[in-house]
Structure 1
Amino acid sequence: MILHSHRSRVINPSLDRLVNDFNERSVKALDVCNAIRDGVEMVKQWEKQLEIVVCALDHKRIISEGQFRRAKKALVDLAIGMIDDNSKDSNNVSSFTYRNRSFGRNNVNQGSSQFGHFRSLSWSVSRNWSATKQLQAIGNNLCFPKSNDLVATNGLALTIYTMSSILLFTMWSLVAAIPCQDRGLNVNFTIPRQVVWAAPVMSLHERISEESKKRERKSSCGLLKEIQKIEKCARAMNNLADSLHFPLSEEKENEVRVKVQDVVNVCEDLKDGLDPLERQVREVFHRIVRGRMEGLEYLGR
């Protein structure tokens, strides 16, 4: 739309360079979206482990030692799955090593051949893919346009800078919230104060950064509120399990029931939150694809 509205200014070396840089950033952002989609899927797997706990300790049945062993195994599997591969104390093989899905892989035979070709550019992330390095690549050489570029592009350089900065911030926020491969938030992100939208964006950036530095969050695999709930209820269930002796007293059984209800509540929160989040990330992915394809098509005329 921007290129179409300013057709007479498109053939400009300064603008051409900025547009090409933005296109490169958008391709890198697609990989981040795919990694985030994998992260959401991973959280759904954790939800399934919690559902096993709920099923094993169903309130309609008397809790036996065998049922509790099943629940305990699910909690152990959950704990292993939630180990943050960024942790210095972790020697686990990353859960994100094997990736085989992408937002672009569904309905392969539908749509234009151009769209099918573009899909291959962001099929999935490789084993050595790094969210931290990808964010750094998106932010590479991203700086406020110089006065001569602003003049040469009649202000369009500022528009592209704004789009690139918001793209970087959006991808950084997703990586902060969702588990993904080699997740890290140490990305240089600054907006000059004279930019109108600088204050609210930098305020959000600061709040997210401060949240990630909290003691209870440092070893977390994501800042998503639901992930914190999973960690808390799993920790509470494990602590309770260590104090149980069978057969259970009525008091202990009631205590287990209360904790299981907490797990049920977390599962409901996950169901309510994860699907809308995945749809929103998918929409971001497809908007980036459409915008890039339309831009390339226009420039190719």
Structure 2
Amino acid sequence: MAAAEPSPPTGMGFLGLLSFRRSATAVASFDPAQDDELLVLDALQAHVAERLAALASSAVAQAPLLSLAFLSKLLDVVVSSDAAFRDVLEIGPVAAALSRPSADRLSGDLIDRAVKTLDVLNAVSLTLASLRGSYRAALTAASCLLTLPLHRAHFSRARRAISRLFPDSAKLAAPSPSYRTPRALSFSVSRNWSAGRHVHAMTAHLAPPPQSPSAASPGAGCGLGLALYTMSSVLVFSMWALVAAVPCQDRASAATNPPVAPPKQVQWAAPMSALQERIAEEWRKREKKGSSSGSAATSGLLAEMQAVERAVRELSSLLEEVAEEEQDEELALGMNEERAQDVVERAEALAAACQALEEGLGPLERQVRAVFHRVVASRGEVLHIMEHSTRSGSASAAAASGSSAPPHHHSF
């Protein structure tokens, strides 16, 4: 007589109940192989939940959310989640189900999102490279105002540099013509390319898998199907956050609403939802502020970049005041010591903001490139497994055409 299935705990949601029954079935059947499959599949969910929770807890409510440190940790989540997902792909029966209905549709969606992820990473890499050049020039502009006594030539040079590099907040990402065009990761971004449209396309058909696995679709339930949905969600969320932080081309067309709506029962739903809400709120505030000032706020939400923008505006405003006061006098003689000290302090603030951004952008650029190559490799592995599984399935079907033995299905 088969062992009776234990009673599930009370108060358990549908996804939890289904996971409990799957685990209970595996234990009752004394099938170590199937138990290992369940452990690896559940480990992916626990890993993503743990990393996102750590990311959410590291973002202090009062501090700006999208900073260089945050983006670095976010990209670490992408890499580590991909590693956990590859552990899932190393399980033979699980990998074989990638090409079966309806897991094949979820696999195809993940492959398509990986391609769009590469496009976004390519655009982000180009933007970061151009920002480094622009802010290095801003640092040069500030440096000519750091030493007393100040002369009219110093002020004129600084004002020309600021007006050329930062005409308004909507054009902060425009590369200076005096700097070399940065090399793209895979291709140059065309004028018609849109980061907003790409992110929107990544959200298409992003929905949890059906939670009623059957013999007809063993890989589409809360195991493999949820693993594919999890990786797609991580890619969509991370690229949306990058576009929010970095002023990519046509960033403003991206929706400010959270792009991922996971069911509450999923382990990583709460931290991802919390992060999305905070980023969306900052984005909406930034867009509203840009609209009220008469220009689109497309300069991005990166905290260090906004610090430079504030410092530029404050210094530029002060230089305009000085220019109006000292139109007919030599600055070295006509400007009082207190006024000169104000200029130096504003220039020091701009120099410090530029240096902080300069120091952080280099490592972030390298990390973006590393994630780009990681996604390329992961996408290739999924494609290889699906092609191999399809060929093996066709060969097995032909060999077993005369056999009446029923196929073995895995309940994941």
- Measure, in 2, the Cα distance between the counterparts of 1:78 and 1:157: 48
1-side partners of 2:183 and 2:213: how far apart? 40
Deviation of residue 42 (structure 1)? Answer: 2.7
The equivalences for 1:41-56 within 5 A come to 41-56=129-144
1:186-236 deviations in whole A, cap 9, x for unaligned?
154312111111110010000011111225754251100011111110111
**1:149 positional shift:** 5.8
Give yes or no for contact 1:14–1:149 (8 Å, CA) kept in 2: no
Letter in structure 2 aligned against 1:207: R
TM-score by length of 2: 0.62
How has the CA–CA distance of structure 1 residues 277 and 217 changed in structure 2, closer, same or farther, with 3 Å as cutoff? farther
Counterpart residue type for residue 290 of structure 1: A
Residue 210 of structure 1: aligned partner: 281
Which residue of the partner structure matches residue 105 of structure 2?
A: 17
Q: Which amino acid aligns with 1:68?
A: F
1:132 pairs with one of 193, 196, 207:
196
Give the conservation status (yes or no) of the 8 Å contact 1:176–1:223.
yes
- The separation in 2 between residues aligned to 1:194 and 1:264, in whole angstroms, is 48
Which whole-Å CA distance do the structure 2 matches of 1:281 and 1:141 have between them?
Answer: 26
| Separation in 2, partners of 1:224, 1:178 | 6
Deviation at 1:80, TM superposition (A): 2.5
Cα contact 2:120–2:239 (8 A) shared by 1: yes
Aligned to 1:116: none
Contact kept? 2:251, 2:298, Cα under 8 Å: no
Which of 194, 197, 219 pairs up with 2:268?
197
Task: Say yes or no: does 1:28 pair with 2:120.
Answer: no
> 1-side partners of 2:285 and 2:302: how far apart?
14
Match of 2:174 in 1: 95
Q: What is the CA distance between 1:267 and its match in structure 2?
A: 1.9
Most deviating of 9-18 and 266-275:
9-18
Q: Does 1:289 align with 2:355?
A: no
- Native 8 Å contact 2:146 2:348 kept in 1: no
**Residue range with higher mean Cα deviation, 41-50 or 135-144:** 41-50
Partners of 1:8 and 1:289 in 2: CA distance: 21
2:171 and 2:260 map into 1 onto residues whose CA distance is 24
Change (3 A) 1:220 1:298: closer
Q: How far did residue 14 of structure 1 move?
A: 1.4
* Aligned residue type for 1:4: E
Residue-by-residue CA offset, 1:45-101 (whole Å, 9 max, x unaligned): 331231221232241x5321112111001111122374259xxxxxxxx838x9763
Matched length? 273
Query: Residue 89 of structure 2 aligns with which residue?
Result: 3
Q: 2:205 aligns with which of 131, 137, 141?
A: 141
Q: Please tell me whether the aligned partners of residues 135 and 171 of structure 1 are also in contact (alpha carbons under 8 angstroms).
A: yes
Once the two structures are superposed, residues 122-173 of structure 1 have per-residue CA deviations (whole angstroms, 9 ceiling, x without a partner) of x232210111110011111111111346863152011000000110000000
**Which structure 2 residues correspond to residues 1-301 of structure 1 after superposition, within 5 A?**
1=86, 2-5=88-91, 6-59=94-147, 62-80=149-167, 82-84=169-171, 95=174, 101-104=183-186, 123-148=187-212, 152-153=218-219, 155-184=223-252, 185-186=254-255, 188-214=259-285, 218=290, 219-244=297-322, 245=326, 246-247=330-331, 248-301=335-388
Residue 77 to residue 149, structure 1, CA distance change in 2 (3 Å): farther
Q: What is residue 119 of structure 1 aligned with on the other side?
A: none
- Letter paired with 1:14: S
State which structure, 1 or 2, has the greater radius of gyration over its C-alpha atoms.
2
Task: Rate the CA distance shift 1:284–1:81 in 2: closer, same or farther, 3 A.
Answer: farther
Alpha-carbon distance in 2 for matches of 1:214, 1:240: 26
- RMSD between aligned alpha carbons? 2.4
The 3 A distance-change label for structure 1 pair 278 and 213 is: same
Aligned partner of 2:19 in structure 1 is none
Distance in 2 between residues matched to 1:190 and 1:101, nearest whole Å: 35
Label 1:280 to 1:261 Cα distance change in 2 as closer, same or farther (>3 A): same
Give the SS at the match of 1:243: helix
TM-score between both structures, scaled by the size of structure 1: 0.83
Q: Which amino acid aligns with 1:28?
A: K
Structure 1's unaligned 5+ residue stretches are: 86-93, 105-122
